[in-house]
Amino acid sequence: MRLFETLIIILDLTILALGFANRASALWMVGIAVLSLVALALHAFIEGYRWQMVPAYIASTLLVVSVLLGFIGHAHLNLAIPVAAIVLLLASSLLAVVLPVFALPDPGGPHSIGTITERLIGPASRTLNLQFWYPTDAVNGKRSAYRTAEARGLKAHLRRVRTHALVDAPLTQIEPQLPVVLYSPGWKGHLTQNTVQFEMLASHGFVVVAMEHPPAENLPLFFDPSSEENLRGYTVEVKLRAEDVVFVLDNLEQLNLDPKSRFRDRLDLSRIGMLGYSFGGALTAEACWLDPRLKAGINMDGLMFGRVTKDGVRRPFFFMSDDSGGPSEIDLESPDPSKKIHARALKADIKFIDRSLAQYGGYYLRIRGAAHSNYSDRPLYSPLKRLTDAGAIDTQTCIHLINDYVLAFFEQHLNGKPQPLLGESSSKYPEAIFRSYPASVNEPRHLATIA
């Protein structure tokens, strides 16, 4: 809970305790009630309203009005009001802890972070939302919200989360040119879905360009690879989004030439990589196949689609996986058609990864105890793993592990700095099952069964 939220709860509980004990004068009770109102005002002004605190707002109103009207005082206490207030305060406390205004982990790099947003109209009038994350020398300024007005309903409180990035801060002057990393989110995902990785990379001197694609037509709201029709649709969609990436790359070239752009002559377009989460990971591989300007890519637990599944990934590429393993023989022969289709898609995916790594080399990581959502920010949304679909692994441990491997990969393949972490399994992370594959390995390993 945030500072003034905690203070509101404490002051309301103080009113209740003093009222029950009959040990406070009416003047003291009024004073505490006034402090509660002040805390509410400061909370609204500094921290901002969030729906989890609505029961506490109601409780505060009940208690303050009761004190000011003399219902609660030294001599007696009306029972209905305090019982209702206690229930409401407990409800808010629970909701505020289960769905917190969380703090993003420290980015860890030597640079402060700046951010700006942009909207592009691409081919066939496709609207692309972009957010840039980059190193800055500024240390003060307005910090960017994690999510904006599009976060509604149960996710509205994400607008109260603050990133480490300063809005519209100038680009650092320490480095003359900076490497670039593009990002694509999961199916129907938001462009801030992996802010932990964006901030980490920006703090280490990379410019990150996160993109949000137009919603796909005639495909399910949620990713569902359990029908042949959907699988064909995803193949078409990954091609469309790969063309979005080409358009963004073209736009970066224009920004590098634009005298009005903060990025003029500052983007090293010979050092461009890409990473993506879930469907964005599949897109990353397809985009690396399509456009040679992308020098390296990371697929963060995405089922593969597109032309790349026929040809393999010829760029330095990193496949990351959760700990779910491959499909069982029972699922592969299931009488349920949807289960069988999904299982066979997973088996084909594993075979593709084996083949691509065997032929062109690359890297593979599986994290013990990690689930699909651990490759995004989602585990930070709640300490209850059932609400975030996070795996058994400690959330912070998993974040540090993923960040270290992502940074090592781009440092080595964009900045030309050899990284020991990519050479062998690290004793720092016993949870990591990591393999490095040189090009032209004769026999691929079946990654889903590596122990």
Residues 94 and 122 in one domain: no
Going by pLDDT thresholds of 50, 70 and 90, the confidence category of residue 136 is very high
Reported as type and span, the H/E element at residue 234 is: helix 228-257
Residue pLDDT, tens place only, 326-344 = 888 898 988 988 999 999 9
371 domain-assigned: yes
Q: Looking at residue 283, what is its pLDDT?
A: 97
Count how many domains the chain has.
2
Residue pLDDT, tens place only, 73-104 = 444 456 778 889 999 999 999 999 999 999 99
Residues 229 and 311 in one domain: yes
- Do residues 184 and 99 touch, judged by C-beta distance below 8 A? no
What tokens does 239 get? 């091609």
Residues 200 and 76 in one domain: no
Q: Looking at residue 72, what is its pLDDT?
A: 54
Look up the domain containing 286 and give its range: 112-449
388 domain-assigned: yes
* Mean predicted lDDT score pLDDT of the chain: 91
Judged by DSSP in three states, 187 sits in: coil
215 domain-assigned: yes
Q: What is the pTM of this model?
A: 0.91
Give the separation between CA 263 and CA 269, rounded to whole angstroms.
11
Going by pLDDT thresholds of 50, 70 and 90, the confidence category of residue 71 is low
194 domain-assigned: yes
Residue pLDDT, tens place only, 282-304 = 999 999 999 999 999 999 999 99
In this structure, is the dihedral angle defined by the CA atoms of residues 214, 215, 219 and 225, taken in order, positive or negative?
positive
Residues 205 and 127 in one domain: yes
Q: Which of 365, 312, 355 is CA-nearest to residue 441?
A: 355
Residues 152 and 93 in one domain: no
233 domain-assigned: yes
Q: Looking at residue 75, what is its pLDDT?
A: 44
Residues 277 and 312 in one domain: yes
CA 249 from chain center: how many Å? 23
Average pLDDT over residues 62-70: 83
Q: Looking at residue 443, what is its pLDDT?
A: 41
Residues 50 and 132 in one domain: no
Give the separation between CA 380 and CA 386, rounded to whole angstroms.
12
Residues 139 and 19 in one domain: no
Read off the CATH number of the domain in which 352 is found. Answer: 3.40.50.1820
Average pLDDT over residues 153-162: 88
Which of 51, 68, 98 corresponds to the end of one domain? 98
288 domain-assigned: yes
**Beta-carbon count within 10 A of 311 CB:** 12
Give the separation between CA 168 and CA 329, rounded to whole angstroms.
53
% of residues, the chain, pLDDT over 90: 75
Q: Looking at residue 158, what is its pLDDT?
A: 92
pLDDT above 90 for 446: no
Q: Looking at residue 425, what is its pLDDT?
A: 65
Give the separation between CA 252 and CA 120, rounded to whole angstroms.
11
Residues 172 and 35 in one domain: no
% of residues, the chain, pLDDT over 70: 94
Residues 310 and 402 in one domain: yes
107 domain-assigned: no
Residues 65 and 124 in one domain: no
104 domain-assigned: no
Residues 66 and 150 in one domain: no
